[in-house]
């Protein structure tokens, strides 16, 4: 951190806030201490300072005082700069405190803390933020490194490219996406949008993005179509299919709690060997139910349907292969 830079930036903000006229770069250089003598150096430093202020959300305006002026000038309109009047009741501040803690240690934690600071600066009592008896503590993590750049891309409406390893594929593929939104579902982050290569909407799981996410277009170049619902896109992509098939299993007595929990019927198997129950249950697809049934090992035996039984046997043989 450079104290001189902080001082210079602070001076720049105060200077531009207190003027109603546009000030040229030269006038600013006269008014704000800390800029170098040499023109080229000044120009570069001033450019960087403007960018820093814009990154902070300072509404820096460019314009001309007279239509025939040569150089553009700069100012910050008080009204555009200031947080509007915002009075929070004690109970609202309490909910706000809870909301700010949601992101602790996650990508947007800094942003949440920054917002709290501004609201305290606007007069909110920090003591009120702790007032909710902490019987509920929600947390959101963003362990996926892709979250930061994708959130920026969504916020600034920029297209991105990344390499993506789809489920079960051994090699990642390059994708180009116009991101419409990020969604957390069942604790995982997804990005949904328009896949330029596939010419269709697509949903990607952030955890399967390999390597860096790169911008491939300027801010504002992505248009989110009216009525696009990213939540719905992700829900459709991820939702469990209907359980429309029926399986019959033998389950060893006293075991298979998970299998019995969702069973249609459980009955003692009078015709079979002792120590087993006959369980009838519904399932959605052979592959994933075979995975599940195989996980019970010697405590469950599929009787029907035959393709399910074969699938389980194949997994068990796979273990021994």
Partner 1 sequence: MSAVTSTERLQRLLALVPYVVSRKVVGLAETAADFGVSERELVDDLNLLWCVELRAPDPYCPIDLSYEGGEIVVSQAESMGRPLRLAVDEASALLVALRMLAELPGLEDRSAMSRLIAKLEAAAGEAASASAQVAVQVDLQGDGTASLAARINAAIAAGRRVHLRYYVPGRDEATERDVDPMRMLVVEGRPYLEGWCLRAEGMRVFRLDRVLALTVLDQAAAPPPEATPVDVDQGLFRPSPDDVHVELELSAEGRWVAEYYPCESVTDLPDGRLRVVLRTPDTGWVRRLALRLGEDGRVIAPPELVAEIRDAATAALANYVVLSAAARRPPAQTACFGAAV
> In 157-254, which residue ranges form alpha helices assigned H by DSSP?
230-238
Residue number, 67 or 228, with CB nearest to partner 1 = 228
Min separation Cβ 71 and partner 1, Å: 16
Among 50, 185, 196, 243, binds partner 1 (CB under 8 A): 185
Alpha-carbon torsion, ordered 120, 117, 149, 145, to 10 deg: -110
Q: Which of 319, 292, 291, 290 is nearest to 305 (CA)?
A: 290
When asked if residue 130 is in the footprint of partner 1 (CB under 8 A), the reply is no
Bridge partners (DSSP) of residue 202 are 193
d(C-alpha 129, C-alpha 107), whole Å: 21
When asked if residue 151 is in the footprint of partner 1 (CB under 8 A), the reply is yes
When asked if residue 55 is in the footprint of partner 1 (CB under 8 A), the reply is yes
Q: Which secondary structure element, helix H or strand E, spans residue 52, and what is its range?
A: helix 39-55
When asked if residue 123 is in the footprint of partner 1 (CB under 8 A), the reply is yes
Min separation Cβ 64 and partner 1, Å: 20
Residue number, 62 or 173, with CB nearest to partner 1 = 173
Min separation Cβ 75 and partner 1, Å: 11
d(C-alpha 263, C-alpha 243), whole Å: 12
> How is residue 35 annotated by DSSP?
-
Among 38, 61, 69, 104, binds partner 1 (CB under 8 A): 104
d(C-alpha 33, C-alpha 28), whole Å: 9
d(C-alpha 8, C-alpha 14), whole Å: 10
Dihedral over Cα of 259, 263, 269, 271: its sign: negative
Q: Which of 212, 202, 215 is nearest to 158 (CA)?
A: 215
CA distances from 320 to 16, 300, 301, 303, 316 (A): 74, 18, 18, 22, 7
When asked if residue 261 is in the footprint of partner 1 (CB under 8 A), the reply is yes
d(C-alpha 16, C-alpha 251), whole Å: 77
Min separation Cβ 62 and partner 1, Å: 18
Q: x/- string (CB under 8 A) for partner 1, residues 28-47? A: --xxxx--------------
* Interface region with partner 1, contact rule CB under 8 A, candidates 37-45, 61-69, 114-122, 211-219: 114-122
When asked if residue 9 is in the footprint of partner 1 (CB under 8 A), the reply is yes
Min separation Cβ 195 and partner 1, Å: 17
Q: x/- string (CB under 8 A) for partner 1, residues 155-174? A: x---------x-xxxxx---
Min separation Cβ 82 and partner 1, Å: 4
- Residue 292, helix vs strand vs coil: helix
Q: x/- string (CB under 8 A) for partner 1, residues 298-317? A: xx-xxxx----x--xxxxxx
Residue number, 67 or 101, with CB nearest to partner 1 = 101
Among 41, 47, 62, 105, binds partner 1 (CB under 8 A): 105
When asked if residue 52 is in the footprint of partner 1 (CB under 8 A), the reply is yes
Among 66, 67, 70, 187, binds partner 1 (CB under 8 A): 187
Q: Which secondary structure element, helix H or strand E, spans residue 304, and what is its range?
A: strand 300-304
For partner 1 (CB under 8 A), the number of binding residues is 136
On whether the CB atoms of residues 6 and 33 are closer than 8 A, the answer is no
Among 181, 201, 277, 283, binds partner 1 (CB under 8 A): 181
User: CA neighbours within 13 Å on the CB side: how many for 94?
Assistant: 9
Q: x/- string (CB under 8 A) for partner 1, residues 207-246? A: xx---------------x-----xx---x----------x
């Amino acid at each position: 951190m450079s104290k001189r830079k902080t001082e210079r930036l602070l001076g720049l903000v105060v200077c531009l806030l207190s003027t109603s006229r546009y000030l040229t770069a030269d006038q600013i250089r006269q008014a704000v201490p800390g800029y170098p003598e040499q023109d080229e150096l000044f120009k570069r430093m001033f450019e960087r300072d403007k960018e820093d202020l814009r990154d902070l959300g300072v509404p820096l305006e460019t314009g001309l005082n007279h239509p025939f002026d040569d150089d553009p000038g700069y100012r910050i309109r008080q009204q555009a700069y200031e947080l509007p009047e915002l009075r929070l009741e004690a109970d609202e501040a309490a909910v706000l405190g809870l909301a700010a803690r949601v992101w602790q240690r996650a990508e947007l934690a800094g942003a949440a803390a920054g917002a709290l600071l501004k609201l305290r600066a606007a007069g909110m009592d920090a003591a009120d933020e702790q007032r909710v008896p902490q019987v509920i503590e929600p947390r959101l993590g963003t362990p996926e490194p892709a979250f930061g750049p994708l959130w920026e891309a969504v916020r600034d409406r920029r297209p991105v490219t990344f390499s993506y390893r789809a489920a079960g594929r051994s090699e990642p593929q390059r994708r180009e996406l116009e991101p419409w939104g990020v969604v957390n579902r069942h604790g995982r982050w997804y990005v949904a949008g328009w896949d330029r290569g596939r010419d269709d909407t697509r949903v990607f799981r952030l955890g399967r993005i390999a390597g860096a996410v790169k911008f491939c277009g300027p801010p504002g170049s992505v248009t989110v179509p009216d009525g696009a619902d990213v939540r719905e896109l992700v829900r459709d992509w991820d939702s469990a299919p209907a359980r429309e098939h029926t399986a019959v299993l033998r389950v060893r007595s006293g075991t298979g709690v998970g299998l019995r929990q969702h069973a249609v019927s459980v009955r003692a198997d009078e015709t079979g060997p002792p120590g087993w129950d006959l369980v009838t249950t519904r399932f959605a697809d052979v592959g994933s139910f075979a995975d599940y049934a195989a996980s019970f090992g010697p405590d469950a035996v599929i009787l029907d349907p035959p393709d399910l039984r074969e699938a389980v046997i194949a997994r068990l043989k796979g273990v021994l292969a």
